[in-house]
Structure 1
Amino acid sequence: MEENYKLAKWLSGEMTGEELAAFQAEPDFVIYENIKKHSASLQAPSFDEDKTLATILASPKKEIKTISLAQNWFFKIAAVLVIGLGLFLGFQNFSSSTVYAENGTLNSFTLPDNSEVVLNSGSEIEYKKWNWSNNRALKLNGEAYFKVAKGQKFEVNTSLGKVTVLGTQFNVKQRDNRFDVTCYEGKVKVTYGDNETIITKGMSVAFEDGKSIAMPEHLAQSPEWLNNEMVFYQEDLKSILSEFERHFNVTLTLKSKDNSQLFTGTIPSENLEIALQILSTTYHLKPTKVSKNEFILENLDAQ
């Protein structure tokens, strides 16, 4: 520090005579003297203030973009909406779709491959839209009529059995422990337990409680229920009343001791009173109206 202080005083010419004589006697003084002599000949480049200012003003200006807080929030909201829409569409495609037909109604709709489906009363179908053309499989609970577009294998799965087709028209009915399939065009394969059966146009198969039921030839061109008729083949009264309840959207209470007789026949389904009268005559019952949508069926012998 002391050496730097003496050097600074010498360069600024502030040393006294005694101090200068002592400094010149030091061995490094010759080096300091040469540095001072050569540095004095150096010149800094001239600085033209006006020229430098003009150059700065003439240079192209870069626009500084700013995003206000409101714009920033707008972009964030837009991003959330886009992501949300993507998730929604993905959920719609990958999740299962369910179609219902409430009691007292029919429901017609088309599948993604334009296959046509008509759901009978009190029935539902569940399927997935995603990759439908390569995986045409659905779940049926109830009864439905299908007009299947040609394409990959088409499967109708129920809790009792499965129907497999390529392109045809057929009806599937699964109610409680009974499973019925009728083919109206083409060919279908019906799987019930370990049993596989191929049926073609006009043929029907039926199973109940694990047993096969021999079915007559079916001459109709489409299911009778599409034309306001209910067709039963060897069905008990309990099953028939359940079908009435679904079709007419009513509640029927049976008060009868003997109802084991099996019924085969066609009952018009446009008018509840007429339908009840036909059924009551067959089973010797008397229908009593309790309210708008509730009836009691009792044995005539009990009157």
Structure 2
Amino acid sequence: MSQHPNHQMDDQLLAKYLSGDATPEEAIQVNDWLRLPGNMEQFRQSAYIWAQMEGDPVHQLPDQNNSWQNIKLAMQAPVSIPLQPGKHNRWRFAIAASVLVVMLSGIYFLFFQPTQRIADYEVKKNTLTAENRVLRDTLPDGSRVVLNSFSAIEYSLDFPKSGRNLGLHGEAWFDITPGPSDPFTIFAGDVTVKVLGTSFNVRETPDSVLVTLQSGSVRMCRDRDSITLQPGELGIYDIRNRHFEIIRSADPNQTGYATRIFDFKDESLREIASQIEKAYDIKIVFNNQALADCTMSSTFNNESLDYIMNVIAVTLNITFRTENKTVYLSGKSCE
């Protein structure tokens, strides 16, 4: 990629990217270029033109400057319509107006209509949305994703053929199918997360982007700044200060909604129930509200719901009853 101040992208490299022939290194190069200001518009124009010329081995961008000059010359050319007194003047004005409309229509088609078609081209994507519950699904490349409530991901209709790239809004856990020659890229706010094969969590908030790594290795990037995470670490990007930070020991409970791995230490039953509800898509009801203030410590590693509830019942000397997807807790308060 050129380092010229205007961030120009080589047309041949862009053509390879659009056709799906770019190497992983070239795909990452284009993705990094797209993050720079003003480059998305050039890409949208190229994507639209490529869609219209699909199958043509030669990738060339149209010379809009020449077309614009031709239209301007046509507009500047004198149109001789002699005016004579009488009733025929109206239709002569109509002819002049028609000529102007044709010229303006050409301008519209050249500069505005493609933008509309580009928009049509861009909306052709898959969107996976979790509303008020956790959603688990498998992507076309075999990678597994767990979307936290009120989160969404978007990816191309021809994913992964066009590259394993997706956008994230909210929070999601990913277990990526290994692809040594095909990196997986996630765009979350201002940050790009790049991996080859690993399991990790990405959370986007208005103030920060957080990545928790369980296995493998991931790189968090913004422009030329980046950090690399190792298993068990939490990477944080502060959006306002544009600063990366690594926390060496991540809290497993933050990703328990997806992994069902918990390490509760002197935690209230209210908080424990809240996390279990989300992870197992159930509802927990306290028949005695005082039970919510009981505290306990325990570790669960992707155990069954019945196992977890039995541990809680024995530890706190309470009882539970399950009906459909609701668990009722009963017993005396913990004093």
With normalisation by structure 2, the TM-score equals: 0.42
Structure label with greater radius of gyration: 1
With normalisation by structure 1, the TM-score equals: 0.45
